[in-house]
Structure 1
Amino acid sequence: MGTRLFAAVVPPADAVEHLEAFLEPRRDAADFRWTLSTQFHVTLAFLPDVVDHLADEYVDRLAEGLERTPIPDLRLAGPVVFPDAAATRVLAVGVAPVSEAADVVLERMAGRARNAAVRVGTTVDGQRFRPHLTVARLRHPADTSNWVRLLETYSGPEWPVYEVAVIASHLGEGAAGRPRYEVLAEIPIGG
């Protein structure tokens, strides 16, 4: 069994604090498994089972793919639910690129993160890229229409993305049975 990896954009402290301030007074209203703010991230590519010796090669390939990427400006805003509001399993905040060009760059970054996995010969999750930051997981599917309406009012501060993190996820090794995240690399974007 290999390592679970993901390439992600990690929001800066001010964006995390802004979202945390919005969510904190509302958390007691639902029995969700809330994501710790220290684990907030926007996944570009998820690699469920990477053979250990391929992790460094993945980092190298991803760095090559991102070296000439323009720096996009992003903001967290609006709701995202999986699979839908009537039977939600995952509640998330959307990622709103500040410009159409930033939207294209974010899509390109996700494509390059996935392509790097394919190039080193490892499996990448094939689901369509839908940028989001997970704020809660539900123990059982539930209607989250009220949460969707609430998150429609949320818009966080803008921030420039200067790097992509490659993170190992060690299931069950964190507090309260959560995953423990280990940052393997922080890859600068070329600008």
Structure 2
Amino acid sequence: MGHRMFVAVLPPDEVREELERFLEPRPGLAWTAPSQWHLTLTFCPGVDEWRIDDLTDRLGAVARKHEPFRIRLAGAGVFPSVERAKVLWAGVEQSPVPPIGHDRRERPLDALAAGARSAANAAGCVPDGARFRPHLTLARLSGRDDATAWLRVLDTFASSTWTVSEIALIDSFLGEGPRGRARHEVVARLPLGESDQRWWAPSPG
């Protein structure tokens, strides 16, 4: 069946704490655990064990082509619709930058996601077909809920701006986390730019 893996940007602790404080007094939904908050760049639902090293190398090459950039969490949205919401999420603000060798302006997070998707394809790790829309999943709903009130609340939140300096390759294990949720394990952290400070998860034992 393979590994359920995704490439993501992880928010720093101070941003997690800001968002956690904002959400803390707001019961009523099944909120995701702050320790699992992330911005997915691409998701690969069935990665063979023997492909992981190649995938990591290719993602590292992509990361080195992108300089660090600044973003923040702001605004909110839902999937698939406000009237039948299943996922409630925080939005992302990013400034467009002119990519090297191009006249048009491109959002850096979108460009990084496109590169991660290309790396996954090249490594034989077929990513899912979802169109990239930068977001951080906050809660899951029944699909029978109208999320208008929640969107009004979350539209008032804006986090501190932070510098994205790395991407993470993460393995997801369904049902192995608290209360039957997925457990996430960071396999590698890959720095943006020309740094060679790659971090690998230690081998078991």
> Do they superpose with TM above 0.5?
yes
Written as runs of structure 1 = structure 2, the 5 A alignment for 1:64-143 is 64-97=61-94, 99-101=95-97, 104-143=107-146
- Please identify which structure carries the higher helix content: 1
Instruction: Give the residue type in structure 2 aligned to 1:70.
Output: E
- Which residue is 2:188 aligned to? 185
Regions of 4+ moved over 4 Å: none
Instruction: Give the residue type in structure 1 aligned to 2:25.
Output: P
Unaligned runs of 5+ in 1: none
Shift of 1:68: 2.1
Contact 2:8-2:170 at 8 Å conserved across structures: yes
Contact 2:6-2:44 at 8 Å conserved across structures: yes
- Which residue is 2:23 aligned to? 23
Listed one character per residue, the Cα deviations across residues 68-90 of structure 1 (whole Å, up to 9, x for unaligned) are 20211010010121001111000
Whole-Å Cα distance in 2 between the matches of residues 71 and 148 of structure 1? 30
Moved more, 114-123 or 138-147: 138-147
Alignment match of 1:160 (pick from 153, 163, 170): 163
Alignment match of 2:44 (pick from 28, 44, 47): 47
TM-score by length of 1: 0.95
Listed one character per residue, the Cα deviations across residues 46-68 of structure 1 (whole Å, up to 9, x for unaligned) are 00110111112111101111102
Percent of aligned positions with the same letter in both sequences? 44
The aligned length equals: 187
Whole-Å Cα distance in 2 between the matches of residues 84 and 100 of structure 1? 27
- Which residue is 1:61 aligned to? 58
Shift of 1:101: 1.9
Contact 1:166-1:185 at 8 Å conserved across structures: yes
- Which residue is 2:8 aligned to? 8
Listed one character per residue, the Cα deviations across residues 86-132 of structure 1 (whole Å, up to 9, x for unaligned) are 110000000111x2229621111000110011001121011111000
Instruction: Give the residue type in structure 2 aligned to 1:4.
Output: R
Larger Rg: 2
Unaligned runs of 5+ in 2: 99-105, 195-205
